[in-house]
């Protein structure tokens, strides 16, 4: 039977190095290029029509932009809108990477732990920078949940510290694990379908169809979760426990 | 798991940062501004259209009210004009009738008076003629010596003449 982890293997097609660092081109890198080409192509085409009564593609792009803007306004308030380009790009990159990975023979960039980790660490580092720039030393107050009695502080602060440090890890692992698990299940089911032959093989094959449909949903949901958590973490850094206006209406 | 093979990490990190950076820059520069601009434009346009529609509605209502007021005033005026015209026509009719009646009365009175005058004049004339005749007869009697029979005949003649003139 075929190894279900086989689809995650990478092979360097073109060896490259920059200042002694290996930057060889492999399937994942090609997929990243495909992602940026598709996203940029779609959004620039959509943006170029600029019609008051939108074309179909323009509607789609506007829906997406409005969706992400709404998400930012809900979690971060008006101050968060300056992060819009970053958050929108993050969402589109992850979404297209998840969806393109579902095409047989292609590669899921987000099934690489290092890729999701880079995103998660970037997001978390950004939230720290934003927090310290906006609030200075007071940003350490994020370790003290509002309303904590003084005698609980020695207990609460380590717990909060751990929960803070868990943020980038959970962010990275959640996306990676979801993408990996889906493909592993698909791989196993396909293996069973082939091994089962015509007599019983149709059953796991039918499951692969259902799983594929589910995976499309998961691709959207995981991209959304990653983005919404990015908004929440950045929002926390902006408002410190949501004391500001951002959560006033939610 | 193949994902933990660390010798791919440097390449993936590098290309991820480069790809993401390029995508972010391209979208920031060329894709988001026109889309956001169009969205803002549409939002503004819709808000303006709604406001304009509201303004038009209020204006239409005001005009409608104005017209209704005008219409009521006009119909009241028309009614007044009609009543006035009717009254005037009635008055003219009455006046004419009275004038005609008076005229007829006057004509009748004139005619009666004229007839009376004529009659009196005729009687006067008859009287004077009868006197003349009587005088003539008397003259003839005196001129000639008349027989009794002559007297009678003459008297009869005179009376017949009188009756003839007077009897009508």
The answer to whether the CB of A177 falls within 8 A of the CB of A186 is: no
CA atoms within 13 A on the CB side of B79: 6
The answer to whether the CB of A85 falls within 8 A of the CB of B32 is: yes
The model's pTM: 0.69
Q: What count of other Cβ atoms lies within 10 Å of the Cβ of residue B23?
A: 23
Residue A148 pLDDT > 80 = no
Residue A245 pLDDT > 70 = no
Residues in chain B: 168
Q: Which of B1, B24, B35, B46 to mutate to test the interface with A (most CBs of A within 10 A)?
A: B35
Confidence bin at A155 (pLDDT 50/70/90)? confident
Of A62, A84, A88, the CB nearest to B38: A62
Q: Tell whether B21 lies on the interface with A, counting CB pairs under 8 A.
A: no
Distance from CA of A96 to the nearest CA of B (A): 12
CA angle B40, B46, B51 (to 5 degrees): 125
Nearest CA in chain A to B23: A36
Mean of the per-residue pLDDT values of chain A: 82
Task: Report d(CA B124, CA A195) in Å as an integer.
Answer: 166
pLDDT tens for each residue of B90-116? 999 999 999 999 999 999 999 999 999
pLDDT tens for each residue of A161-207? 888 888 889 988 998 999 888 888 888 888 888 887 778 878 888 88
State the maximum Cα–Cα separation within chain A, in Å, rounded to a whole number: 69
Of B10, B12, B14, the CB nearest to A112: B12
Q: Which residue, among A124, A160, A155, A125, has the nearest Cα to A141 in the 3D structure?
A: A160
Residue A241 pLDDT > 70 = no
State the maximum Cα–Cα separation within chain B, in Å, rounded to a whole number: 201
Within 8 A of B43 by CB-CB distance, chain A residues are: none
Higher per-residue pLDDT: A125 or B38? A125
pLDDT at A51: 73
Task: Report d(CA B19, CA B10) in Å as an integer.
Answer: 14
The residues spanned by each domain of chain A are: 17-247
Higher per-residue pLDDT: A244 or A46? A46
Q: Tell whether B13 lies on the interface with A, counting CB pairs under 8 A.
A: yes
Q: What percent of chain A has pLDDT over 90?
A: 10
Residues in chain A: 250
- Asked if B11 lies within 8 A of A62 by C-beta distance, the reply is no
Ranges of residues in chain B with a pLDDT under 70 are 144-147, 167-168
Within 8 A of B15 by CB-CB distance, chain A residues are: 23, 25, 28-29, 32
């Amino acid at each position: 039977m075929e190894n279900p982890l086989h689809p995650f293997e990478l092979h360097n097609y073109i060896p490259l190095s920059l200042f002694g660092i290996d930057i060889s081109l492999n399937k994942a890198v090609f997929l990243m290029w495909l992602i940026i080409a598709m996203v940029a192509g779609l959004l620039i085409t959509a943006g170029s029509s600029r019609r008051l009564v939108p074309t179909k593609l323009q509607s789609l792009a506007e829906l997406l932009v409005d969706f992400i803007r709404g998400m930012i306004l809900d979690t971060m308030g008006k101050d968060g809108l300056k992060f819009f380009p970053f958050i929108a790009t993050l969402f589109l990159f992850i979404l297209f990477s998840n969806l393109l990975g579902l095409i047989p023979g292609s590669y899921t960039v987000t099934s690489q732990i290092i890729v999701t980790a880079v995103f998660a660490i970037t997001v978390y580092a950004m939230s720290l920078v934003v927090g310290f720039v906006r609030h200075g030393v007071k940003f350490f107050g994020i370790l003290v949940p509002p309303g904590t009695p003084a005698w609980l502080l020695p207990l609460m602060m380590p717990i909060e510290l751990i929960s803070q440090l868990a943020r980038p890890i959970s962010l990275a692992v959640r996306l990676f694990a979801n993408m990996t698990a889906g493909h592993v299940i698909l791989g196993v089911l396909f293996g069973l379908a082939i091994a089962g032959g015509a007599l019983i093989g149709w059953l796991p094959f039918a499951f692969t169809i259902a799983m594929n449909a589910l995976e499309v949903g998961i691709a959207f949901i995981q991209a959304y979760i990653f983005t919404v958590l990015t908004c929440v973490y950045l929002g926390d850094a902006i408002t410190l426990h949501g004391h500001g206006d951002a959560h006033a209406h939610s | 798991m193949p994902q933990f093979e660390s010798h791919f990490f440097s390449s993936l990190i590098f290309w991820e940062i480069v790809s993401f950076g390029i995508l972010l820059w391209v979208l920031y520069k060329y894709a988001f501004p026109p889309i956001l601009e169009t969205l803002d434009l549409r939002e503004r346009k819709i808000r303006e259209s709604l406001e304009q529609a509201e303004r038009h509605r209020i204006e239409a209502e005001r005009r409608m009210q104005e017209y209704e007021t005008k219409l009521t005033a006009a119909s009241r005026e028309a009614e007044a004009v009609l009543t006035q015209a009717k009254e005037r026509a009635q008055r003219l009719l009455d006046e004419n009738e009275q004038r005609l009646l008076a005229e007829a009365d006057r004509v009748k009175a004139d005619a009666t008076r004229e007839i009376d005058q004529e009659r009196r004049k005729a009687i006067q004339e008859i009287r004077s003629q009868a006197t003349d005749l009587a005088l003539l007869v008397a003259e003839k009697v005196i001129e000639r010596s008349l027989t009794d029979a002559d007297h009678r005949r003459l008297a009869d003649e005179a009376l017949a003449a009188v009756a003839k003139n007077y009897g009508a």
